[in-house]
């Protein structure tokens, strides 16, 4: 890499400036026109922004999304700005731009903390930020709480590696009223803050049993939802279940669940000495204070109704049931929404799970919990609070190795293609292109194909083929395939990360 380019990329303001410029450009590109640009969930959020805590639409679900909405409400009140749709949309776009730029700065600091090479930092930025979730959906459908959740997730990781437990607690409390799963994630990091855990592998039989237990959970719950409760796809325009493909769908879901517990495959987590070294009265008190404060704030905010979204059954159903729409639909849509990270997880999962476990039980337990309960939902945007951790961790993991230029180029091309920054289309609320199975055809499918549950069967198929092709290309870039001979890796370990 030329010296000039190294100095440019090495500057702490380079990546934030580039992403900030892209975000400013995205502010002015065409956006979703539905409901005056507010969209569907965005229309409900607009009502809350306008009316604040006195809103008649505030229920037990929306109160857990209230923080960024209340923040904009207060700013508008302070400056006497009218609550018009255009003004609220612009406010969200500006807020999203600021939060994404701050996220870039924190990720840059994380990379510097672990002494990643400039090439690894560049690829890491591509993995974390060059995707549909961050640079496209954020501005096409701006009145959402997704970007604040993304920012808070990055902030949790940032303060975790710095050992700033009070800041983790503060971020967790804010997260509880933005994307509520951020709260237990924060509490886990407070209880288990050690980031340099010795890896002692489980026996293969133990991992096999753990995998089978997770498999059994997925299969039993899937059977219960589909055949006992006889749940149906009840979302308008969503892709219906294919009962003919259910055997393959069950197998694919079970396969994913089987490999999930590898993140806990560290015997250190079972040692009494490890727990003694982690637990302290101060951290336990801090967790208790956070929970009490959350309970008091939640109790102080009046809600007008109880939403079904907050029930345990609904949370289990909505995140697992739709994974059976089509085989591997979850993997396909996470690839489409977040880019190469999904393929990298598949490619390096065994070694990557070991890498995760070295960040401690709090990190590993949080990741496994989210995998088991939330990660199977094909509506990938629902995982916006979680994928920043995976993308940052993967960037750090890859930073331990030196790959060929083809591998890096493929990551860049895959993320650029799936980010779809080049795609502009005219969404039409009055379009009558409804397919026989109830899904929405093109041109509006250009939008719905990124929401997973609402993609058509043909889109699922073509995205699946694209994912397989891209995965094969990544594999070929790593291995020298010679028939009759052992494959030779095209990368080497050159910079083990000191956690």
pLDDT tens digits along 21-68: 999 999 999 889 999 999 999 999 999 999 999 998 999 999 999 999
Of 225-234, 272-281, 357-366, 477-486, the poorest mean pLDDT is in 477-486
Cα 390 from chain centre: 8
* DSSP H or E run through 401: strand 401-402
Average confidence (pLDDT) over 317-337: 97
Answer whether 448's CB lies under 8 Å from 454's CB.
yes
Token pair belonging to 8: 């440019």
What is the number of domains present in the chain? Answer: 1
Instruction: Note whether residue 413 is domain-resident.
Output: yes
DSSP state of 81: -
Instruction: Note whether residue 436 is domain-resident.
Output: yes
Instruction: Note whether residue 304 is domain-resident.
Output: yes
DSSP state of 239: P
Helices (H) and strands (E) in the chain, counts: 23, 4
pLDDT tens digits along 183-225: 999 999 999 998 888 999 999 999 999 999 999 999 999 999 9
Instruction: Note whether residue 498 is domain-resident.
Output: no
Instruction: Note whether residue 374 is domain-resident.
Output: yes
DSSP state of 422: T
- pTM greater than 0.85: yes
DSSP state of 201: B
Instruction: Note whether residue 218 is domain-resident.
Output: no
Instruction: Note whether residue 251 is domain-resident.
Output: no
Q: How far apart are CA 351 and CA 344, in angstroms?
A: 11
Instruction: Note whether residue 225 is domain-resident.
Output: no
Cα 161 from chain centre: 19
The answer on pLDDT for 322 being more than 60 is: yes
Host domain of residue 13: 3-202+279-493
DSSP state of 242: -
């Amino acid at each position: 890499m030329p010296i000039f380019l190294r100095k440019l990329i090495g500057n702490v303001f380079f990546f934030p400036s580039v992403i900030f410029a892209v975000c400013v450009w995205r502010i002015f590109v065409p956006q979703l026109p539905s409901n005056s640009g507010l969209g569907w969930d965005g229309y409900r959020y607009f009502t809350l922004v306008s009316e604040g805590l006195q809103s008649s639409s505030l229920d037990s679900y929306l109160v857990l999304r209230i923080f960024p909405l209340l923040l904009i409400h207060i700013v508008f009140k302070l400056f006497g700005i009218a609550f018009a749709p255009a003004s609220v949309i612009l406010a969200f776009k500006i807020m999203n731009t600021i939060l994404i730029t701050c996220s870039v700065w924190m990720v840059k600091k994380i990379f510097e903390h672990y002494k990643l090479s400039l090439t690894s930092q560049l690829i890491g930025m591509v993995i974390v930020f060059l995707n549909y979730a961050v640079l496209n959906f954020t501005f096409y459908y701006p009145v959402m709480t997704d970007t604040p959740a993304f920012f808070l997730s990055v902030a949790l990781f940032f303060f975790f590696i710095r050992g700033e437990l009070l800041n983790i607690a503060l971020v967790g409390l804010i997260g509880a009223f933005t994307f509520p799963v951020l709260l237990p994630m924060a509490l886990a990091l407070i209880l288990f803050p050690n980031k340099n855990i010795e890896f002692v592998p489980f026996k293969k039989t133990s991992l096999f049993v753990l995998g089978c237990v997770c498999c059994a959970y997925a299969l039993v719950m899937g059977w219960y939802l589909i055949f006992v409760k006889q749940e149906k796809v009840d979302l308008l325009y969503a892709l219906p279940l294919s009962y003919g493909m259910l055997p393959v769908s069950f197998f694919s879901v079970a396969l994913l669940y089987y490999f999930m517990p590898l993140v806990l495959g560290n015997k250190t987590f079972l040692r009494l000495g490890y727990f003694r070294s982690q637990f302290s009265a101060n951290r336990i008190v801090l967790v208790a204070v956070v929970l009490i404060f959350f309970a008091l704030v939640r109790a102080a905010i009046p809600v007008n109704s109880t939403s079904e979204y907050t029930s345990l059954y609904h949370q289990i159903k909505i995140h697992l049931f739709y994974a059976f729409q089509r085989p591997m639909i979850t993997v396909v849509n996470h690839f489409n929404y977040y880019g190469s990270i999904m393929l990298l997880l598949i490619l390096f999962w065994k070694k990557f799970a070991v890498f995760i476990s070295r960040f401690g039980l709090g990190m590993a337990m949080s990741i496994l919990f989210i995998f088991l309960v939330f990660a199977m939902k094909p509506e990938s945007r629902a995982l916006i609070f979680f994928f920043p951790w995976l993308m940052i961790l993967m960037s750090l993991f890859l930073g331990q190795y030196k790959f060929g230029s083809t591998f890096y180029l493929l990551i860049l091309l895959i993320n650029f293609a799936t980010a779809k920054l080049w795609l502009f289309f005219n969404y039409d609320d009055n379009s009558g292109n409804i397919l026989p199975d109830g899904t929405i055809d093109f041109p509006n499918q250009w939008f719905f194909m990124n929401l997973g549950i609402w993609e058509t069967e043909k889109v699922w198929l073509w995205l699946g083929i694209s994912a397989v092709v891209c995965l094969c290309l990544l594999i070929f870039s790593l291995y020298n395939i010679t028939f009759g001979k052992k494959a030779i890796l095209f990368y080497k370990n050159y910079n083990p990360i000191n956690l």
